[in-house]
Amino acid sequence: MSGVRRVVTGHNDLGEAIVLSDDKAPFLHTSAGRPGFWSNDLWRTSTFPVLISEQEEEPTLGPRRQLPTANGTVFRINQIPPESGLLDSEAVRREFQNLGNSGSSTFKPGSHPMMHRTETLDYVIVLSGEIYMVLDKSEVLLKAGDVAIQRGTNHAWSNRSKEPCVICFVLLDGHFEMTHKN
């Protein structure tokens, strides 16, 4: 896949609703270390409440960001290929560095190598395929149409099937209030 079609609306000079753009979302991230993986940022915001402006610049350009900015959001779709072999600790470090969030990895020997924790509330929708959401001591299989609300927990995504899994993520900036941090 070469990206997700994104339609963005706005207004003309008369205040009428119009389509401002209808094309592939411009920010598509791939990873040499994970063949078949891609991540397409569809929109980002940096304030809350969100400022809706006719003069808004393309919000997804710039360096890769796994996480939203303070008071921001990230809306993206990822394709996660079947796991063909687990990454070693150095490859994991590089992957999180490439995601722009080297500090979120919580990998420990015996855990899934992509375990991580972010200070975000994530809305997750499986669009196609299936994937395991791996937690510290349990896991749950999510299939197309399933939704998860990931609330700042330690987790990883593990595709043990033979087909890619396509997932929609909406990440909202948050802050930890609980005392049990990893």
CATH number at 40 reads 2.60.120.10
- Please report the pLDDT score of residue 182 as a whole number: 53
Q: Name the percent of the chain lying above pLDDT 90.
A: 49
Round to whole Å and give the CA distance between 68 and 72: 5
66-77 burial code (b ≥16 CB/10 A, e <16): bbbeeebbbbbb
Is residue 139 situated within a structural domain?
Answer: yes
**Predicted confidence (pLDDT) per residue in 106-119, tens digit:** 777 778 878 888 88
pTM over 0.95: no
Round to whole Å and give the CA distance between 119 and 100: 14
Is residue 9 situated within a structural domain?
Answer: no
**Predicted confidence (pLDDT) per residue in 17-57, tens digit:** 999 999 999 999 888 878 888 999 999 999 888 888 776 78
Is residue 132 situated within a structural domain?
Answer: yes
Average pLDDT, the chain: 87
How many domains, in total, are found in the chain? 1
Please state, as a whole number, how many other Cβ atoms lie within 10 Å of the Cβ of residue 51: 9
Please state, as a whole number, how many other Cβ atoms lie within 10 Å of the Cβ of residue 177: 6
Is residue 128 situated within a structural domain?
Answer: yes
If one compares 124 and 97, the residue with the highest pLDDT of the two is 124
Is residue 157 situated within a structural domain?
Answer: yes
- Please report the pLDDT score of residue 3 as a whole number: 79
Is residue 18 situated within a structural domain?
Answer: no
If one compares 79 and 65, the residue with the highest pLDDT of the two is 79
Task: Find out whether the peptide bond into 35 is cis, omega within 30 degrees of 0.
Answer: no
131, with CB counted inside 10 A (0-12, 13-18, 19+), is buried
Most confident residue range from 31-45, 51-65, 87-101, 150-164: 150-164
If one compares 97 and 21, the residue with the highest pLDDT of the two is 21
Round to whole Å and give the CA distance between 14 and 115: 50
Is residue 60 situated within a structural domain?
Answer: yes
Q: 129 near 144, Cβ under 8 Å?
A: yes
Considering just the CA atoms, what is the radius of gyration of the chain in Å? 17
- Full domain range(s) for residue 154: 27-173
If one compares 75 and 107, the residue with the highest pLDDT of the two is 75
If one compares 66 and 72, the residue with the highest pLDDT of the two is 72
**Which residues does 11 contact at the CB level (< 8 Å), separation at least 6?**
17, 18, 54
Is residue 147 situated within a structural domain?
Answer: yes
